[in-house]
Amino acid sequence: MNDLTYPPIKQAAWRVAEVEALFALPFNDLIFRAQQVHRAFFDANRIQLSTLLSIKTGGCSEDCGYCPQAARYDTGVENQGLLPMTEVLDAARAAKAAGATRFCMGAAWRGPKQRDLDPVLDMVREVKALGLETCATLGMLRDGQAEQLKAAGLDYYNHNLDTAPEFYGEVITTRTYQDRLETLDRVRGADLHVCCGGIVGMGESRTQRAGLIAQLGNLDPQPESVPINMLVRVEGTPLEETEALDPLEFVRTIAVARIVLSKSNVRLSAGRGQMAESVQALCFLAGANSIFYGEKLLVTGNPDVARDRALLDKLGIKAQEAEGSLGACRT
């Protein structure tokens, strides 16, 4: 059994039952433990800001039940081919000027073909040259592709496990859990930083939320960055009518992620647009130390920059600055 007290001593793999035991703690005890872990590894009043840009939108062949960009669901998303370099660089410059330290380029692909990857490599080079950390999320990678991204200057690759293995088949059938693990292996093998998390509020059970976090915690090494997304329920997707997750259960999920993934940046990701500021503040208290920053996620909305700045000011939270931002999660 893992020691649930401070300091966290983790020798063996996380078992789902251990992670569930964290979820079952009284709320105040859970948050207290998450704060202790958070403060052992991070400045508790500093967060990292990542800005997303959809560089290729819609028309995706996959069937991810949450996703507005899957071609098979009628969600009103307008398909758009790969953006020209100038638009990507304008967005990256604006993100940097607004205070983001990382720029994440997302593409609605099952995975990139070589002819898709070549222009993305150029984008990575140019965005990196602006002095931003670079991240890409392009779907499944084949042998050699992660190395090409690394050589172009990519810092992070985002590829999510999304949910527990036991619930996964209810949400996605066009790629397996194992496919995802293999892409993560390729990313790690190319010495890229791994950004890997999931989505909650898709109708999974608490045990399955614990299952997702156990999976993430047992990646070896653990991912440097862990996005925890609250499902954005988009009209036309199979998950549009899913019952909303209790916000306090979301806060618990963040706290458990913080305890299990003690040295990772835990990102309070999609869903902030629909989330009360008080709930976001509880997420920061529970150990979230990163957000998506900027008016848009990929195709859905996110709080605007002025609103986020005001919230951070109210909480006395400072944005991480560009230099040294990799250090905090590489200890």
Query: What are the C-alpha distances in Å from 299 to residues 52, 69, 103?
Result: 10, 8, 16
Minimum CB distance to ligand SAM smaller for 192 or for 234: 234
Q: Distance between CA 331 and CA 327 in Å, rounded?
A: 7
Q: Which of 103, 109, 168, 284 binds ligand SAM (CB under 6 A)?
A: 109
What minimum distance in Å lies between the beta carbon of 158 and ligand DTB?
5
Q: Which is nearer to ligand SF4, 20 or 62 (CB)?
A: 62
DSSP of 31-97: HHHHHHHHHHHS-TTEEEEEEEEEEEBS-BS---TT-TTBTTS---PPPB-PPPHHHHHHHHHHHHH
Closest to ligand SF4 by CB, 110 vs 309, is: 110
Beta strands 225-230 and 133-137, pairing class: unpaired
Q: Of residues 234, 256, 259, 261, which one binds ligand SAM by CB under 6 A?
A: 234
70 lines the binding site for ligand SF4 (CB under 6 A)? yes
Hey, CA dihedral for 256, 258, 261, 265, is it positive or negative? positive
Which one from 196, 267, 272, 283 is the annotated catalytic residue? 267
Residue 289's binding partner, choosing from ligand SF4, ligand DTB, ligand SAM, none, with beta-carbon cut-off 5 to 8 A by kind?
none
* Cβ closest to ligand SF4, residue 234 vs residue 288: 234
**Which stretch of DSSP H or E encloses residue 200?**
strand 198-200
The residue within the footprint of ligand SF4, chosen from 25, 42, 132, 139 (CB under 6 A), is 139
Residue 108 binds ligand SF4, judged by CB under 6 A: yes
Q: How far is the CB of 323 from ligand SF4 (least distance, A)?
A: 32
Distance from the Cα of residue 89 to its chain's centroid:
22
257 binds ligand SAM, rule: CB under 6 A: no
* C-alpha distance from residue 48 to each of 56, 265, 266, 283 (Å): 25, 8, 10, 14
Is 329 tagged catalytic? no
**Cα 85 to Cα 56, 93, 127, 249, distances in angstroms:** 12, 12, 10, 41
Structure tokens that stand for 299 in this block: 């195709």
Active site residue 196: no
Is position 135 annotated as part of the catalytic site? yes
Residue of 29, 37, 39, 31 whose CA lies nearest to 9: 37
Return the residue of 69, 145, 222, 229 that touches ligand SF4, per CB under 6 A: 69
**Torsion angles phi and psi, residue 195, rounded to 5:** -115, 110
Site residues (vs ligand SF4, CB under 6 A): 60, 62, 64, 67, 69-70, 108, 110, 139
Site residues (vs ligand SAM, CB under 6 A): 66-67, 106, 108-109, 137, 139, 159-160, 162, 199, 229, 231-232, 234, 270, 298
Enumerate the active-site residues.
60, 64, 67, 104, 135, 195, 267
